[in-house]
Amino acid sequence: MGYTRAGTGTLTDAQQRVLKVITELGSASPNQLWAFADLGIGKVMIQRHLKSLVATGLVAKLGSPPRVFYVPIRTDLPTNSELYAQVAAFTATDQQQLVLNKSFGFDADFTLYRGTEAFKRWFLQKQVPGLIKQKSQRHPLQDQVRDNYETLLASFISRREDVALAVDARLGVIDATDRYRSIHASDVIKRVFYQDFYSLPQFGKSLLGLIVQKAKVGEQSSLSYIAELSDLLQQTLPRLAAAFQCDGCAWVPHTLKRAHALQDLLQKSVDLRLHKIALTKVVAGDVVPQKSLSDLDQRLHNAFVTNHVSEAPAVLRRLKSILLIDDAIGSNATIQAIGQKIKTVNPKISIYAYAPVGSFKGFDVVRDI
């Protein structure tokens, strides 16, 4: 697929030269750019040009000082044939657009696209190349593209309708309790809820799944996504707390340290007016993220030895019902381990678990969050 470079006509000659080097190398640090004698640009001006290129959306900044790299961004839809113009012209009904805007996202070249545009970009990048490769001689390729697009769009809408059936109308969340019990055969956690599934078969990550993924990166670019999640949780968590008469809450701590830690920022911004149970993450030796483990027993063991309840036992015994809040639930191992430790201190406590996103299957390893 060919990609055009939008906006390059508005750049200065020096900015175009910097962009050309970044594009040819695939990525470059400011020092690497300064070392290119052909550029003839000083360090201060290189930094200014890079800032301008980031502002125009032609370049993305990755990392934090002193390890910073700049990478080129493909900004336009591919335009190497009439097929792409055909897809760009496809329309959707008002209802289809409503569903897409709420739930379909596609992450391409460091940009999160949403709704109808996201679906078209996903279709162009994930489906059209295959159609071109295996095109039938009996049917015009454009007809195949149209039929495939309409079929997939209808399939996605149907899947989202199935998801909607799993939503508790009173609480506005997906009840995933049966999935939890099918994995652990346990009632340590009384109910498990997701806002949405992390991903759907065939279509990949949901819009909310992508938002959580970007929020967890922990860089400056994560802050807008963290704010979006904060607004969502502020609407949802008080409703859950009221429904189950919760008098406490606990936020699952992160394993990896980040500049802008998602769970830390969320619990500061979401006003639950509940007692916050102190949880501590302690890692001895090498850090082993849960997402790196594919075996359920390994996940349970890792969660049990790294997550600790540091709240005073006397306080735990006074609580009757709590919300346990994670950023994503895959195997349920983390909430199970924390729940067991809390129940050991207070066997009568009711624990309700919530995460913005969770696995679609009974035990699906959420690897990208």
Q: What is the CATH classification number for the domain harbouring 308?
A: 3.40.50
Residues 242, 98, single domain; the answer is no
* pLDDT tens per residue across span 47-79: 888 988 888 778 888 877 778 888 888 655 444
Residues 230, 338, single domain; the answer is yes
Whole-angstrom distance, CA of residue 66 vs CA of residue 53: 19
1 within some domain: no
CATH number at 54 reads: 1.10.10.10
What Cα–Cα distance (Å) separates residue 134 from each residue in 77, 243, 359? 22, 53, 33
**What is the value of pTM for the model shown?**
0.79
Comparing CA positions, the residue from 198, 257, 221 lying closest to residue 110 is: 221
Residues 58, 110, single domain; the answer is no
Residues 207, 317, single domain; the answer is yes
Point out the least confidently predicted range of 30-44, 122-136, 185-199: 30-44
Residues 127, 49, single domain; the answer is no
Query: Of 165, 195, 220, which residue constitutes the final position of a domain?
Result: 165
What Cα–Cα distance (Å) separates residue 153 from each residue in 147, 277, 310? 10, 44, 49
What Cα–Cα distance (Å) separates residue 234 from each residue in 40, 249, 351? 52, 14, 19
* pLDDT tens per residue across span 165-217: 999 999 999 999 999 999 999 999 999 999 999 999 999 999 999 999 999 98
Residues 195, 101, single domain; the answer is no
77 within some domain: no
Instruction: Note whether 41 and 34 are within 8 A (CB).
Output: yes
Query: Of 165, 187, 222, which residue constitutes the final position of a domain?
Result: 165
Whether residue 285 has pLDDT greater than 60:
no
H/E segment holding residue 148: helix 141-165
Residues 338, 204, single domain; the answer is yes
Query: Of 139, 165, 191, which residue constitutes the final position of a domain?
Result: 165
The whole-number pLDDT of residue 293 equals 57
What Cα–Cα distance (Å) separates residue 117 from each residue in 114, 138, 204? 6, 30, 16
Whether residue 5 has pLDDT greater than 50:
no
Residues 115, 198, single domain; the answer is no
Residues 248, 306, single domain; the answer is yes
364 within some domain: no
176 within some domain: yes
Residues 54, 157, single domain; the answer is no
- The range of the structural domain enclosing residue 190 comes to 168-358
182 within some domain: yes
Number of domains in the chain: 3
188 within some domain: yes
369 within some domain: no
234 within some domain: yes
Residues 233, 327, single domain; the answer is yes
The whole-number pLDDT of residue 55 equals 80
Instruction: Note whether 127 and 203 are within 8 A (CB).
Output: no
Residues 190, 243, single domain; the answer is yes
What rounded mean pLDDT belongs to the chain? Answer: 87
